[in-house]
Every structure is written in structure tokens, then in C-alpha cells.
Structure 1
Amino acid sequence: MITVLMLADFSALITGIVWFIQNYQSCPIEEPKKIVMCAIVSNLCVELLVVMTMYCSFDPAGRSWVKMKKYQRSMRESESRFNYRRSGSTNRNWRQRKVMRAYQDSWNQRCKFLFCCMGSSDRTRNSFTDIARLLSDFFRDLDVVPSDVVAGLVLLRKFQKLEREAIIRQKRHGIFEYLSGVPVTERTQFLALNDSHDYDLFQSVIHYMYYAISAYGWPMYLITHSKTGVCDLCPNLKCCLLCFGRSDRAQVIEDNCCLCNYAALKQMVAEGDVEVIYATYHVDIGETPFFVAVDYTREKIVVSIRGTLSMKDVLTDLNAEGEPLPLNPPREDWLGHKGMVQAAVYIKNKLEEENLILKALNHNPTRGTQNYGLVFVGHSLGAGTASILAILMRQEFLDLQCFSYSPPGGLLSMPAVEHSKEFITSVVVGKDAVPRIGLHQMESLRADLINAIQRSIDPKWKTIACNMICCCCGPEPTSVTKMSEQDSNVNAYQEQKDASRHSTVHPNDNSIALSLHHPLFPPGRIIHIVRHHPTNDE
């Protein structure tokens, strides 16, 4: 029925376009022509959006999935009817393998469609395969529709609020407050800015933040200097430098014809005594742009790595499985985000092949650059890459530092995190989602979402509507009201939630396996910057 309606709507749209083209010139009134044109363009955009959504959401593995579930159901009925049991082998049979291949193929096709501009290199195909396997494992066998997800998220947010209120009332685990979602306990340490050590650390955080921003090039410069950005960049463009006879000693790789990114980079670091000696804007899957600069003010060699800015960077982010860090000697329990491990290895090889660190140390001996220290900085994808690169290179540079701004939440395993606390400082601002997102965290969200949907008593429309009517002033869902009656209900919910997070099977069907990946965490010591509004008593 939906297909028939779509075909009818599409036919009407085509007829309208043909009629509009034939009568556009002969129509003497301009305003109706503009209204009709806007209506046709809007309708065409809606049609294209619907087609793309259907293509991305259509599951070609559904037929194989239904056949497999029918087979499993018939086998269970046979067991109960004739009182016999199968061998109980947990190995996947050919039907399950067929379904898994179908799921991976469908996600692979979606990746190729969404990233069609990426080309068809071996690196791209391998990345699509890895990401498709990851996404098929995560979304496989979750029999939910978008309205289920919305209702579940509404309930989950309300359950979370009740849970935190109960924890604060009971003073459980020594928690007496939450700031931007982070529990505050007696062991929570605050930066004492009246202490010289903490003040110097925070000044370093601010100082190196500009390097992390500068790596983004001209887009970030125009965002941060919206009024004067174009005028500031023009004198530093390549064509202008040639006209005025100015030259530059830096080596710039794969920038655009006018060196816009490098011009923005120089403009953003111009306030300090900084000299850029190398900048590459080459980007590919697992290969991230970066630059090397000499900071005469802090007496440091700074390597700044760019964050996510292109579709290839997105593919690097999505390749989020844990992979052992390439250390010598190897440490099997030191895992890192696979895409960012690849990016860190790429930059490490680049630094070694072109002797960039040695060139920077010998860049200006008269100012003592040979004795300068080494600092890695980055934001988002660049933060994760810089952290892993710092771990890989610390065997050679024992005094290096790393400042990681908004690093991914699923970056390093706990043994690597503990080791990195000596030389990596991560900075998280407020409720930033990136430092809280990782495969393990998303799997926990999936388990919590299934648990919330199971607890729902009201119809979905009522659950969703209660969060929208009168700016969230509508009646609370029944499940939330029941949970809020006693703290014991909240405690029971917490126990059930913790158990579901560690379960490898679907709570409603033991034949459905849920993926559980090794937990990964943000690197180093974390400085969490929050906006706190003191009460009248404080």
C-alpha cells in the first residue's frame, strides 16, 4: 500500500514538473510561479529523502532471518512434542552463517552508498568490510522500530534522573552531587588555580588548545573569525605571497592551490613566537593531516593532529574495534581504537621517514631548539591519534607530553590508560558526547534501551507525548511513576540494568546473541571543565 501511494505521489510530481516547464514562460504573474517552483522543489527533496531512507533502512537479510527463526521454532516444538533434545552444540549452523553474511552484505552496501564519493581502493573496501561487520554485530537481531527507540530514550532519561536522585539521597558510593553527568565524591580532585602547579597546568591546556584548533585549517579560522576571516587570510595566500615577493621555509604537502589551510594555520599561531616547519593535509582512511611547529615561548616541538573534517575521517572514526598497540615488546592487554591506531602508526612512520623531529630539534640551534621537549596535541580524532602516538613514541622520548582535547570515549584499554596518566592530559568540556562514546558504551546503551522498553506499560504514543506536551509538563509515564514510589524500586532497576549490560543474549530470546566488546576508555588524566551554578547556601 505504501509503495502504491509513493508511486502515485511520484507520478503526480513528474506531471507537475512537466506542466510547470511547459507553462512557465507563458505565465505573466511572477509570484505564483515562485510558489509553484518552491512547492515542486520541496516535494522533490522529500521524495529523494524518503527513497534514501528506505534504501538505508530496508533489510535484505530479513527473509533469511525469518526462515531461520521459523526453523528454530519448529525444532523447539519438535523437542517438546517428542521429548528429545539436540546435542546442544553452540556452533553456528549454515542458516545462522547465511543470515550473518546477509547482514554484513547489507551494511556493506549501505556504506558504499553513503560514502560513494570515497572511490573503490583496497583500503576503502577493507574499511567498509570492517565497519559493516561491526555494525551488523551491533544492530543484528534488534527487533525495534524508530518509535520504539524514541520511547525507550524518553524512559531511559527519566529512569536515569530517578536513579541519580536516589543515589544522592542514599549517599551511595560517597556521591553527593552530579556535575555535567559526572559523580562528585570525596575523592574528586579540583584544580586549585591559586596553586602555582595547577595554574601552570591549566595555562598549558589553554596554550596548546590553539594548536589543536589550528590543525583544522581555513574552515575553523572562518568559523572563529566570521567578520574579518577572509580579509585576514588573503595576504597570506600563495598568490598574494608571490605578488609581494614573500617566501616561506615550511614544507607544505597537499594543500589547495592557494595554500588556504596553511595561511589559516600561520594566522592562528601568529600571536605566539611559533614557527611552522612542516604541514601535511593529505587525508585518507587511517591517515590524518598534521603539522610540526617550533614553539619558542614554551621551548617545545609541537606535533598537532587534525580531528574529523572529511568523510574519510568519519570512516577512520567508525573503525572502532579494539586492536593491540604495536609496541616493542608487545603488550596484548594494551588495546586501542583500531582506526586511530592506524592513524598513529601512519604519523609515526611519517615522522621517522622524513626525520621531522630531528629537523625540528636542529631548526634553530642559536635559540637552543636542540634541547626542546616534545608535545603532541589534537582534538577529537586528532586527540585519540595523538594519545596513541604519544604511547608509541614515549619509549624514545621519555619527557614527552600530550594534551588530548575531547578524546573518544572508546580509545584505550584500562592498562594503557593507567600507563598514560603519567604524560597525557585529557580535557573534556561539559556534557560533550565524544568522550562518552565508544563501542562498549554504545552496547551498554543498547542494553539499557531494551530494558527500558521492556519496562514500558503505556502505549508508545503516550510515552513520547508526555515528554512533549507543555514543555515536558505532561503526565509522567506509568512505569516512571511506579519506580519513583520507593527507593527499593530504583535499586531493583539498577540491579537489573547492571545484569543486562553483562548479558550476551537478548532478554526475550536466548537464541539471539548480543555482541560485547572489550571496554575502552579516554586516555590519561582527565580535566573536566563544567559550568557550575552555585546555590544560595554555597
Structure 2
Amino acid sequence: MGRKPLKEGRTVICAINYNRRALRRYKIAAGRKSQKRGQRLTIVLCAILFLVEYDHSVQCIYLLWGHVVGYLSILVASMAIEIAVCVVAMRGSILDTGKRTSMQYILYLRLTVMLIEAGWLSAGIAWLVNYYTDCPIDTAKETLLGMVIFNWCILLSVLITVWCTYDSAGRSWVKMKQYQRSMRESESKFQYKRSGSTRNWRQRKVLRAYQDSWHNRCRFLFCCSAAKDRNSNSFADIARLLSDFFRDLDVVPSDVIVGLVLLRKFQKIEQKAIVEQRKNDTYEFLSGVAVTPRTQFLSLHEDGIDLELFQTVIHYANFAVRAYGWPVYIITNSMGVCHLCTGLRCCCCLPCRKPSGADPEIVEDNCCQCNYAALSKLIDYGDIEIIYATYHVDVGQTPFFVALDYDRKKIVISIRGTLSMQDILTDLNAEGEPLPLDPPRDDWLGHKGMVQAAQYILEKLDQGQLVERAKAHKPERGTKDFDIVIVGHSLGAGTASILGILLRQRHPTLLSYCYSPPGGLLSAPAVEYTKEFTVSVVVGKDVVPRIGLHQMETLRTDLINAIKRSVDPKWKTISCSVLCCGCSQPTSAVELSTGERDVTEYMRSKENARHMGIHPSDSTIALTSHQPLYPPGRIIHIVRHHPTSGQQALNKKDPVYQALWASNIDFDEVLISPVMIQDHMPDRVLEALNKVRSHLSHSSLPDAPIYTIEDDMD
């Protein structure tokens, strides 16, 4: 529900209206659970009421009967209110809030009933304390005990949800908007402009309130992280970013779902219109990428110039996947548990195996060294020896290992991606920060969390002299002349790229292979430098290379624009997005696809909203903006070429995987797709690379595909 027009002297009421969405968030989080709980408890209470014989002459039994009847009445009232909520919520489109103005009063009524329910449960506790031991009605009192415990757990979860989602800074925001509107009216009436100092003070106060709100949420969500200064600083940085991003979005999760559904349909309509236009040279879209005469597919035939590079990329992808340790190994291997058992150093029934002097240095692995057992399976891919591995993890400190690849004469530094809560905090600390170079370069910016992770690994390499140890490990096999290769996936890919920049001054022959790197990683000057030694791999519509701060701001604008265009009720848009429903397309999508002029107008309005930096539904709100950061190095994009209808009739239903060279600026927009998360998984990346190779080995077709005008199926 949107905000009501503000009126003089109604600040508190307006603040409450502003926070109606917070109350709706409570309903979204707890409403369905409450409805199911009410249905089940109603059945249980009816069974207790009609199947159990009550002797009203006994006081405890009479009080228990009264408690059951009272609680049954509360549940019936709650279910009636839930039905009313459903009926009202189904009225109108997202921004057509006039048809849902009664929702706030229904929610207040539901809140009142919930408070009454809490009081009634307290009365149930009093009955249990006084009569549970002596009351001669076993089944009913045991059921009452379970019901009281269960419902208090539900109420506590509701309170926690409300605490997390309720926007306590909303009142300050409404007061600031009211003040700004009155200032504009005064300036228009008296033809003069006031000083901006008061306005800036009010804005700073509101922003500070939002930052404090998000800081408290981060501390609560990551309460298991140790209370360190590093973590506190990260919470503050993340809170500042989140407050800037969300403070002007008056939406709930279901609104975002509708926006994503519509945005995906709009993107597909836009791509189809571009292909059908005769004035451009776009043949088709492969995994969201426009294929034109300028598109360069990798030359991977027998004598192709890119074949050796691609084989090297596949080889080092195994190192990036193995950095995740035993969890990913078990997921990607059907017999992974059995294979790991042979390499464990201890177990519950057998004494621990003591490491020998020839074993590598392993830091902070678990008691049975499961991670190292999975890592040691790298020997399946060649003559490889592990030198050092650390599984210590903290904010800005990610695990990595150092290995010797004797077949390719390389020292491999492999960095793990996101696998823990600390890694998530490192990912979220996404503000741009100057790289620690000597001499410094102000225009070379990097993802702050990954810059910290790269500095941590560099410090560990220097303190332990790990590179020197690797070079001196087996001089008889030429290790002193081995060059350095840095690899990583996701968080590890971003860290590997930045670490490569820091180490390249010492090791000019260093190479880096980054798999699914984050989009908001490096500024343009730093990206150009990494093209000398870094190759990145992106699969399909992977969302991570497309979610830097700048791309997220673009997504925010596009989502609001899509929500603004929605004319159908939310339930219809969401239900029709499920294929089995068989209903028609959303009205806004049908209107957009009716003609080229409509698509052109949509594309123009979308670009205007992006470049103006103005909220689509409130021109007084200036959206936040960050400097664009890009994925590193030269980028190999693995795309899927789906078969045509004729090919599907010949049982050729599997897509063909192909590799092409992509520009770093090609990943400036989030492509909404069911595979946007799957394409980021490390095992999927390795699988896609192998499918490109297997397709080439079973096909005599040229590198470039045969172009057909087909909808992108991803």
C-alpha cells in the first residue's frame, strides 16, 4: 500500500500510514502461518471440546472448559480477520491503493486480537501453574500444555519479525517530506528561496535514523559473528549502503516478486522486438547476449587460437571448485562420502592419524580434516601437490590454499568463494575503495570487502613465505622456476583478481583465472590493467557478475518502473507466472507487446529513469548513485543456444553450450531468469565449461552458430 497524501497537523497519523507496509510485512511473514495454525488449532480445540467429558462440578475442569471455549472464539475471530485481509488485499493493482484503504484498520484489529490472544495464553499458563498436577483430566491438560508452548513460540516469532521489518525511521521520513513540501509552497508563494542548511540537517537526521535501523538489523541477523571491531565496522558500512538503497522504496516482498515477474517478461519482449527490427544487426539473443556480426566466438576447433587457453581455463576451474572443501565435493559426487572416508585423519571410532613430516600445513580444518580430504582429490586432475591450506574465515579473511601443479609448472593460489556468514558480510561490504598500490592511484577502485580479503591473503603469503616455500619445495623438479597462477570462484574470483594486481609488481608473469566474478569489483582503469593477465568466466545469466552497486541501482529503477506499469492485482500476476495455471499474460505485458511503438516508448522511459536518477513515482526523491565497477580481465561468456522447434521434433532438446568473448560493460543489467542463481554455482560453471568442450568433440560444426530468430529460453 502506498503513502497517503500528507496534510498539515497530521504528522503522527502520516507516520503510521507510512508504516502500513511494515504491518503488511508482518502479515506476509506471519499471516499464512497464522492462518494454517488457526485451522489446525480449531480442529484440535473442537476435538477437545466435544470429545472430552467435562465434569463442571470440579473447578479446575470448569476453568479448563472455559479456557478452551474462549480460545476457540479467538481463533474463529482470527480466521475471519484473515479472510478479510485476503479479500481486501486482492483488490486493485499495486499502486492503486484506494481500493485497499481499509487494510490498515483490519491489521490494527488483527493486532488487537493478537494481544487478546497473548493475554488468554497467559491465563492458560496460570491454569497450568495452579491445576496441572492435580486436575483429573489428563488428555485435555496435556493438549493445553502443548498448545500454550506452541503458540507462545509463534507469537515470539511474530514479534521478532515485526522488530526486524518495522521501519522505525518512517516517521522521520514523513516529517521531512512534509517539511520539504511546505518549503516549496512557501517559495512558490513568496517568490524566494530559503537556505538549504535546515533542509540538509533534516535529511542528515533521517539518513542517520535509517542507518541506525539497518545497523541494528545487521547485528541481529549476524548475531553469531564474534563482536570484533572489524565486524562492527563492516556492519556500519553495510548499514550505510542498505539504508541508501532501501530508504526510498515503499514496497513489500510480494511487490518485488511482481516486479521481477513483469521485468522478466518485459526483457523478453524487448529482446524479441530488437531481433525483429530491420534497422539493427542483431541476429538473436543467447543467454541474454545480443549476437551481432561483431560477436567473437572462441576459436576452439583443433587448430583454433583459443583452444589451449580454454583447456587451461577448464583445468584451473577444478582448483577453484576444490577450494570449497567437503560440502561442494559431496554435492558434486554421488559417492563423495565414501571417497572422503578413505582420506580422513580421524573418526569417531578410530584413533586420530598423526600427520607425517611430508604432509602439507593445514590451518583450522575440522577435527577429521574433511576439507583437506576433499582437497587432496585434486590429484585426479594431474600431478598436483598441496603445500599449504588455511580454512580460517572471518570478515575480510577468506580461506585459500597453495599447490604445485607439476604438469603445467605453476604455483597455484586458489581462493574460496562465499560459504559462510562471514563471507556474506565480506560480499555486502561493496563500497568502492582505492587499491593499496605503491605509488597510489586514486582512480583504481575495488570492492572494499574483497580488497580487505586480498590484503589478508597477501599478508599470509608474506608472513609464511608461502611462495618461496613452494619454489624451494622440490628444486629437482624445477619448482624454483614455476610461475604463479591465482584462481577463485565468486568471492574468491574477485579476491584473486585484486590479489593479482597487488602481486604482479613482484611477479610480472603472474596469471589469474576468475570464475563467476562479482560485477561491482574494479573501476575501469583497473579493469584495463587486468586484461593483461586475467581471464574471467561467466555462465549464462549468472546474476553475480551483474549485481554491483551500480547495477543494483539500475535494477531498483527498473523494478519500480515495472511495478508502476502493473495494472493487474498482485495475485493474478504471481499466479499467472506459474505455467500450470494456464491463464493469460499480465495486461501490462500484453499492452507492451502489441506494437513496436509501445516497446520503443518503454525502452525510452526506462533509459530516462536510469539516467535521471529520479524515483519514478516521486520526483522529489533523488535515488542514490555509485560509480560503476566492472568484472575483471578478458571475459569468456558461456551461452546456451536452445534448439529450434524443428530440432526439438528430432529429439534435440538439450541446449548447445558455446563460448564467446564478452565486454566488461556487457554485464550492466540484471537478467531475470529461473537459472540466474544456478548459473553461479561452482559445479555448474565447471559443467558448462565441459559441455562446451564435449560439444566440440562430437560436432564438426564451425565455431559460430547458425542464427535463428528464437526467444531466449533461459
TM-score (norm 1): 0.90
Return the alpha-carbon distance in structure 2 between the equivalents of residues 484 and 8 of structure 1: 51
2:238 is aligned with 1:131: yes
Per the alignment, residue 227 of structure 1 pairs with 335
> 1:55 — aligned with what?
163
Q: Distance in 1 between matches of 2:612 and 2:128?
A: 59
Q: Distance in 2 between matches of 1:258 and 1:356?
A: 24
Residues 12 and 386 of structure 1, relative CA distance in 2, 3 Å threshold: farther
Structure 1 counterpart of 2:387: 277
- What is the rounded CA distance, in whole Å, between the counterparts of 1:321 and 1:375 in structure 2? 27
How large is the Cα RMSD of the aligned pairs? 3.1
2:409 is aligned, of 296, 299, 302, to 299
What is the match of residue 417 of structure 1? 527
**1:177-216 → structure 2 map (5 Å cutoff):** 177-196=284-303, 197-216=305-324
1:174 is matched with which residue? 281
1:324 maps to which of 408, 414, 434: 434
Q: Is the 8 A contact 2:557 2:616 kept in 1?
A: no
Distance (whole Å) between structure 2 residues aligned to residue 457 and residue 175 of structure 1:
32
State the Cα deviation string for residues 433-473 of structure 1 (Å, max 9, x = none). 222211111100111112122223334444334434x6363
- Find the aligned partners of 1:27 and 1:270 in 2 and give their Cα distance: 67
- State the alpha-carbon separation in 2 of the partners of residues 241 and 191 from structure 1: 53
Secondary structure in 1 matching 2:297: coil
Extract unaligned runs of 5+ from structure 1.
none
Q: Which residue does the alignment assign to 2:610?
A: 501
For 1:400, which of 502, 510, 528 is the aligned residue? 510
CA distance in 2, matches of 1:57, 1:419: 43
Contact 1:316 1:340 in 2 (8 A): yes
Matching of residue 260 in structure 1 with residue 370 in structure 2: yes
User: Which amino acid in the other structure matches residue 395 of structure 1?
Assistant: Q
Distance 1:527 1:456 in 2: 37
Give the C-alpha shift of residue 185 in structure 1.
1.6
Moved more, 519-528 or 249-258: 249-258
Q: How many residues align?
A: 534
Q: Which piece of structure 1 moves more, 365-374 or 203-212?
A: 203-212
- Letter matched to residue 131 of structure 1: I
CA contact (8 A) 1:410 1:440 kept: yes
Equivalent position of 1:527 in the other structure: 636
Say whether the 8 Å CA contact 2:489–2:514 is kept in structure 1: yes
Q: Given the superposition, is the C-alpha separation of residues 173 and 519 from structure 1 closer, same or farther in structure 2, using an over 3 Å criterion? A: farther
Q: Secondary structure at the match of 2:259?
A: helix
Task: Report SS of the residue matched to 2:260.
Answer: helix
Query: What SS class does the counterpart of residue 164 from structure 1 fall into?
Result: helix
Which position in structure 2 is the counterpart of 1:100? 207
2:271 is paired with a residue of what secondary structure? helix
> 2:476 pairs with 366, 386, 396, which one?
366
Return the offset for 1:169: 0.6
Q: Deviations over 1:240-263 (max 9, x none)?
A: 795488554311222223322222
Contact 2:187 2:194 in 1 (8 A): no
In the TM superposition, residue 352 of structure 1 has moved relative to its aligned partner by 1.8
Contact 1:235–1:241 (8 Å) recurs in 2: no
Distance in 1 between residues matched to 2:279 and 2:221, nearest whole Å: 46
1: distance between equivalents of 2:576 and 2:124? 40
Gaps of 5+ in 2: 1-107, 648-705, 707-714
Deviation at 1:18, TM superposition (A): 9.2
CA distance in 2: counterparts of 1:241 and 1:366, whole angstroms = 36
The one-character-per-residue Cα deviations of 1:63-103 (angstroms, maximum 9, x if unpaired) are 111211222222233334x3333246488522211111100
Distance 1:245 1:456 in 2: 64
Residues 388-422 of structure 1, C-alpha deviation per residue, up to 9 Å, x if partnerless? Answer: 11122112212111111111111112222222122
Distance in 2, matches of 1:64 and 1:452, equals 28
Query: Secondary structure at 1:471's aligned position in 2?
Result: helix
1:357 to 456, 467, 481: 467
Report the CA distance shift for 1:232/1:476 in structure 2 as closer, same or farther (over 3 A). Answer: closer
Picking from 625, 638, 651, the partner of 1:516 is 625
Among 337, 350, 357, the residue aligned to 2:447: 337
In the aligned structure 2, how far is the partner of 1:349 from the partner of 1:174? 50
User: Does 2:613 match 1:488?
Assistant: no
Residues of 1 paired with 2:508 and 2:279: CA distance? 41
2:560 — aligned with what? 450
Change (3 A) 1:173 1:108: farther
Range moving further from structure 2, 377-386 or 190-199: 190-199
Q: Against the structure 1 CA distance between its residues 439 and 17, is the aligned structure 2 distance closer, same or farther, given a 3 Å change threshold?
A: farther
What corresponds to 2:59 in structure 1? none
Deviates more, 1:478-487 or 1:157-166: 478-487
Give the letter for the 1:438 counterpart.
Answer: G
Q: How far apart, CA to CA, are the structure 2 residues paired with 1:513 and 1:174?
A: 36
Which deviates the most, 130-139 or 500-509?
500-509
Contact residue 222 and residue 230 of structure 1 kept, 8 A: no
Q: Distance in 1 between matches of 2:609 and 2:458?
A: 41
Please say if 1:78 is aligned against 2:186: yes
Distance 1:102 1:163 in 2: 40
Give yes or no for the alignment of 1:390 onto 2:500: yes
**SS of the counterpart of 1:174?**
coil
Q: Separation in 1 of the partners of 2:327 and 2:126? A: 40
**Residues 435 and 275 (structure 1), Cα distance of their counterparts in 2 relative to 1, 3 Å cut:** same
Q: Is the 8 A contact 2:345 2:354 kept in 1?
A: no
- Per-residue deviation, 1:12: 6.2
Shift of 1:302: 0.2
Which residue number in structure 1 is paired with residue 685 of structure 2? none
Paired with 1:165 and 1:245, the residues of 2 have a C-alpha distance of 61
Shift of 1:214: 1.4
| Bigger shift: residues 390-399 or 86-95 | 86-95
Q: What TM-score, normalized by structure 2, do the two folds share?
A: 0.69
Task: Specify the SS of the correspondent of 1:229.
Answer: helix
Q: Counterpart amino acid of 2:397? A: E
Q: Which region of structure 1 is more displaced relative to structure 2, 145-154 or 176-185?
A: 145-154
**Does residue 163 of the first structure (1) align with residue 270 of the second (2)?**
yes
Gap change, CA 1:245 and 1:166, over 3 Å in 2: closer
Match of 1:290, as an amino acid?
A: F
Cα distance per residue 1:226-245 (max 9 Å; x no partner):
43425533543157795488
Deviation at 1:476, TM superposition (A): 2.8
Q: Secondary structure at the match of 1:178?
A: strand
Q: Which amino acid aligns with 1:309?
A: L
Among candidates 280, 287, 293, match of residue 397 of structure 2: 287
Q: Report if aligned partners of 1:210, 1:269 keep a CA contact under 8 Å in 2.
A: no
Say if 1:47 and 1:198 are closer, same or farther in 2 by CA, change over 3 A: farther
Secondary structure class of the residue paired with 2:175: helix
Cα deviation, residue 45, structure 1:
6.4
